[in-house]
Amino acid sequence: MGALQVVMGLYATVLPFAVLAAWIAVALWDLSRRVQAEEVGRGAAAGWAGVVLVVPVVGAAGYLLAGASLPRWLAATYVAGGLVAWLVVLAATSALGGAA
Amino acid sequence: MLDRGGSSGASPIRVMRHLRQRRHGGVASGLLVILGLFTLVACTGGDAEFQHTVEMEDNFFTPEVTRIDVGDGVRFRNRGVVPHNAIDVGGSWSTGEAAGGDAADLMDPDEEVVVTFDEPGVYTYYCSIHAPDDGSAGMAATLVVGDVDLEDAADDAAADQVTEWTGVTRRVPEDHPTIQNAVDAADPGDLVLIAPAPETPEHLAADGRYAYREQVDVTTPSLTIRGTDRNAVIIDGEHERPIGINTVGADGVAVENLTVRNTTGNGIYWTGVTGYRGSYLTAYNNEIYGIYAFDSTDGLFEHSYASGSKDAGFYIGQCDPCDGVITDVIAEHNGMGYSGTNASDVYLIGSVWRHNVSGIVPNTLDSQRLPPFGRVTIAGNLIHDNDNREAPALGLQWSAFGNGVLLTGGMDTLVTRNRILDHERSGVTVGPNLSRNFWMSGGNVVTDNVIEGSGYADLILAGPALTGNCFAGNDPDRTVPAGLESVAACGPDATAGAHAEVVDPDRGAFRLPSRQHLAPTLSFVGLVAESEFGLQPDNDHRDAPVPPDQEPMPGGADAPVVPAVGVFAGFDLDLDAIEVPPSPDPTRGGEDADAGDADGDGAEVATGPGAPSRDRAVLVAGVPFGIGGFSTLYGVLGWLAPFALFAAWVALALIDLARREDLARPAVVAWTAGVLVLPFVGAPAYLLAGGAGLPRWLRWTAVVGATVVLAALLGAAAVIGGLL
């Protein structure tokens, strides 16, 4: 196994967690911005933050797709793009012989 | 070990000693001795002059033949993990004398001796603990000085082996005063029968028992060396002699029903042989290995006991295929119960491995030939409490601390139907090993074991790993990574182990990439740091417990005499009949609980439901807290912090892309794809060069500054831990 296979195998391992962390960060940043713009109240924002932080995976992705102020195409890019990116990395890693 | 002081009185060559030790570095001192035609220079600092290097590996010299000009220097460098030396068969020089000590003095790993040769000739040299003193086999090599013809100085007079007992019995001490005398007189196929040592002053050992105070070198094949009483026939190294019974290049030698203790190297040792057997042997407080076969095939260790060795109680190394079997043995109070470096096609069956620093550790090292190890079958063993901080261990062995079964850098091994209890770290870990190369594990199958009471996790797959490692039917309480039996499951037809044809093992259909974890690997690095930092317990093998009397060989002196020929082929092994052994604790193990004290160590069996599992380490993303500060430190700095930093980069990049109004939609999508798909470099590349709207100071601080700080912290931690 070459170095590239090791790197790809490691990246395939960490990418889903990094994507989840990024979803959470984008969601919290969006909530913060909406509170400052007084688009949502603090209570609703706290509720959404709880969902984003506590409900695994679905919480952050659900907020981005259904609750965020981001353009829909951007939210879809982030959510679907994260999943697609993971699959692409998985496929590349498998092609290199590192994910079986 | 090398004598650090003094000087040799006579040497035919010029020698310069260069000591380089991992922890202590060079020491400035020197001495000069001129005698006759030759000069001896020994110093312990600075760079010695040399034109050639002979590597002392475990256990061979490389290259086997070295040609030099008259006046050239040769650097002898121990690159192994156990001590070695180099001694001229003719006695004209040795590394020990060159270093100012005795000829047989040993060089520790990483030590060097430079010898300059001023006289032409052919020198056959050997390691005194891994070869006979005629250099005819084992760890021996040749040095050709000047323009002379190479003559093979090895004595190739070894007789052919025979398959049956000759009917001749050579009795010790009745017929021969020493065991060595009887062995030297014996013909192939003879029985050397040893009675307890006479109760004479010359046989009186330090503990008041009577023992044979000798090293027995065996070069005659097909001998059977047998004690009449396993517990009363004792060969005592007295912490002075390297080996108890040293079989070098003699095929078919069986050793039975006796005890070897207190050697400075190995208790009972075979090297370079085809056919060996050790039955009803007791080996204790031998410094490096207890019962040991190296570069040997077709062998069996059975009904034997080994304790108090810093490396391993039982060891099979450098053979592929080994065709070796270890069955019905007990190993305790060793650095490792079993170590098998680069040993493939080995069976470890139905034995007890307990109270060692680590239990069963097949491993791959570049210091020996034939890496990596593979196709080991570990089945039906009772493996418990291998986290003994009071057992002697070398530094390398400490890095395996607290694991029941540890597969490091090997392939296609089967671990099945073992009972594995109570380890501070793991029940079973499959992981990599860093030698001169980085060896990763692949194709290993871990199924149907009973694993309880592990502090870190019952099952660990430490990355990076090759493909094909799978886990099923072990019912673990905790694994690292989580859900290992789901993300790295075995299919119903998964196969591995000795002589298994593993072409494409059935590893199940559903496998996720999170099947390996870096934190356990960093945790092992933490143990290396503990050793380097001096946190490893410094236990003297001489203080290990003296074992109680062990079960004697049925028939004793009158048992059938069978030379060790065709051993593996004659061993009746029914793997399908092997079951999980009963628990040593009658209150644990469910339906097996009625077996009681299965391992026979009686008093050490704890009672009560659930006792005595180890305290569970707190895990944060796989990083253990509470089982060693260095393990936690390296886990945090080497895994958690980089991962968090990378996740922060991705988050910053996506937030910034969401804020930008200067980019068209396709550009945002393209950058998002780049951030996510390009391994590790996409996000920092965007932040530094993608025109991100975040303040420049923030972007550079997050990417470059944080990376530099993290690297500095890692470097500092490595320095503190003695790794750099």
Are A81 and B676 in contact (CB < 8 Å)? yes
* Whole-number Å distance between alpha carbons of B697 and B368: 52
Confidence at B158, pLDDT banded by 50, 70, 90: very low
Are B516 and A9 in contact (CB < 8 Å)? yes
The contacts of residue B597 (CB under 8 Å, 6+ apart) are: B584, B586, B605
Q: Is B121 exposed, middle or buried (0-12, 13-18, 19+ CB in 10 A)?
A: middle
- Pick the range with the lowest mean pLDDT from B63-72, B149-158, B388-397, B429-438: B149-158
Are A6 and B464 in contact (CB < 8 Å)? yes
pLDDT at A1: 52
Question: What value does the mean pLDDT of chain B take?
Answer: 85
Confidence at B492, pLDDT banded by 50, 70, 90: confident
Of the ranges B116-125, B203-212, B602-611, the best mean pLDDT one: B203-212
Evaluate whether B309 touches B541 at the Cβ level (below 8 Å): yes
- Pick the range with the lowest mean pLDDT from B122-131, B148-157, B341-350, B519-528: B148-157
Provide φ and ψ at B56, rounded to 5°.
-100, 100
A58 interface with B at CB cutoff 8 Å: no
Q: pLDDT over 70 for what percent of chain B?
A: 86
Q: How big is chain B by its Cα radius of gyration, in Å?
A: 28
pLDDT at B100: 85
Whether the per-residue pLDDT at B486 is higher than 50: the answer is yes
Where are the domains positioned within chain A? 3-7+12-95
Tokens 């044809």 label which residue? B501
pLDDT (average), residues B144-161: 60
pLDDT (tens digit per residue) in B578-594? 999 999 877 665 444 33
* Whole-number Å distance between alpha carbons of B14 and B31: 12
pLDDT (tens digit per residue) in B422-463? 999 999 999 999 888 999 999 999 999 999 999 999 999 998
Interface of B with A (CB under 8 A): 440, 463-468, 507, 511, 513-518, 643, 646-648, 650-655, 657-658, 665, 668-669, 672-673, 676-677, 679-680
Whether the per-residue pLDDT at B33 is higher than 90: the answer is no
* Other beta carbons less than 10 A from residue A32's beta carbon: 12
Provide φ and ψ at B199, rounded to 5°.
-85, 70
pLDDT at B581: 96
Of the ranges B65-74, B192-201, B684-693, the best mean pLDDT one: B192-201
pLDDT at B505: 62
Q: Is B102 exposed, middle or buried (0-12, 13-18, 19+ CB in 10 A)?
A: middle
Using alpha carbons only, give the angle A71, A74, A79 rounded to the nearest 5 degrees.
Answer: 125
pLDDT at B509: 53
Beta-strand pair B414-416/B376-379: parallel
pLDDT (tens digit per residue) in A13-62? 889 889 999 999 999 999 999 999 999 899 999 999 999 999 989 999 99
* CB-CB neighbors (< 8 A) of A7 in chain B: 679-680
Evaluate whether B361 touches B400 at the Cβ level (below 8 Å): yes
Q: Which residue has the higher pLDDT, B136 or B475?
A: B475
| A1, A22, A85 member nearest B647 (Cβ) | A22
pLDDT at B601: 47
* CB-CB neighbors (< 8 A) of B511 in chain A: 99-100
Q: Which residue has the higher pLDDT, B607 or B480?
A: B480
pLDDT (tens digit per residue) in B261-312? 999 999 999 998 999 999 999 999 999 999 999 999 999 999 999 999 999 9
Are A21 and B655 in contact (CB < 8 Å)? no
Write the single-letter amino acid at B137. A
pLDDT at B488: 87
Are B680 and A7 in contact (CB < 8 Å)? yes
* CB-CB neighbors (< 8 A) of A93 in chain B: 513
| A11, A82, A86 member nearest B680 (Cβ) | A11
Are B467 and A99 in contact (CB < 8 Å)? yes
- Pick the range with the lowest mean pLDDT from B10-14, B165-169, B192-196, B679-683: B10-14
Evaluate whether B408 touches B364 at the Cβ level (below 8 Å): yes
- Pick the range with the lowest mean pLDDT from A73-87, B12-26, B197-211, B525-539: B12-26
> Measuring CA to CA, which residue among B116, B102, B114, B117 is closest to residue B44?
B114
| B467, B673, B679 member nearest A81 (Cβ) | B673
- Rounded to the nearest angstrom, the minimum Cα separation between B650 and chain A is 6
A28 interface with B at CB cutoff 8 Å: no
- Pick the range with the lowest mean pLDDT from B85-89, B101-105, B268-272, B276-280: B101-105
Provide φ and ψ at B192, rounded to 5°.
-100, 110
pLDDT at B668: 94
* Whole-number Å distance between alpha carbons of B291 and B61: 23
Give the 3-state secondary structure of residue B584: coil
Q: Which residue has the higher pLDDT, B401 or B138?
A: B401
Reading the block at residue B307, the tokens are 């304790």
For residue B243, how far is the Cα from the chain centroid?
18
pLDDT at B160: 72
Q: pLDDT over 90 for what percent of chain A?
A: 62
pLDDT (tens digit per residue) in B493-504? 888 999 887 656
